[in-house]
Amino acid sequence: MYTSRSIAVEAANAGSIALDISIRPADGDLTFLRNAIVEVKAPQAGKAGGRAAGAAKAVYDALHNAAVEIFSRSFSHEIDEVVDAYRVMLRESLAKGEDPKLQAALNRARIQEKILASTSMVDQGEACELLGLSATNPSATMKRREDKKELLRFSIEGRAAYPLFQFDVEGRRIYPLMAQLIARKPKGWSDFRLLHWLTRPHLDFESTPGEGLADDGEAVLAAFEREIEPAVHG
């Protein structure tokens, strides 16, 4: 049985493989067949014709069993080669980002990283300081605010991070409108999508909706409700 040595390379380059499997003799296989014949024991009793027929059948059975063993062993080896090549193909596909679902996930991750990198953030201790709260246990303090869905919280390198625009620094509070926006967020909207909407320029404002929280909260809410309003097709 023969398999191309370049099967893994072909699989990686082409993204698929086609197999044409054939059986070819090998030195080890011929030795195995010869030993199987040598070990055949001819029948000891019966007429001469019967002994000859019995011997022929014994040889046939020995060759049949040896051939089955050779084929099974070789075919199993070739299947292992195919499986290994397929694994290589999958690894190469993942490494190159050719898998559609993987590529879509990577694109989302890159967009999220870009949004987070362009947004001013504060950590838990800084958030407590901005709110005039004790920083003895900032994690627990901010967790209570998160559980009440009063503000957006993200994770950067495993640490909690909060967009700065949510905080009314002068009033030492979180803008109450944030809780309303989070509550109105459609089911299909992630926190990242809401963050993106709040941080990109909007025609209703001189800058972004997030910056409009300070002095134009009602306009921000109205703009958001228009944004999430389902499209009507007539």
Chain segment 26-62, per-residue pLDDT in tens: 656 667 666 766 676 655 555 555 666 666 677 767 7
Q: Is the Cα dihedral 184, 188, 192, 195 positive or negative?
A: negative
Q: What percent of the chain has pLDDT over 90?
A: 43
Interior/surface letters 160-194, b for 16+ CB within 10 angstroms, e for the rest = bbbbebbbbeeeeebbebbeebbeebeeebeeeeb
CA 106 to chain centre: 9
Instruction: State pLDDT tens for residues 189-226.
Output: 999 999 999 999 999 888 999 999 998 899 999 999 99
Distance CA 7, CA 84 (A): 9
Distance CA 37, CA 61 (A): 10
Distance CA 79, CA 76 (A): 5
**Closest of 5, 25, 40 to residue 70, by C-alpha:** 25
Instruction: State pLDDT tens for residues 113-131.
Output: 999 999 999 999 999 999 9
Give the DSSP H or E segment for 174.
strand 173-174
The helix, strand and coil proportions of the chain, stated in percent and rounded to the nearest 5, come to 60, 5, 35
pTM: 0.57
Distance CA 165, CA 119 (A): 9
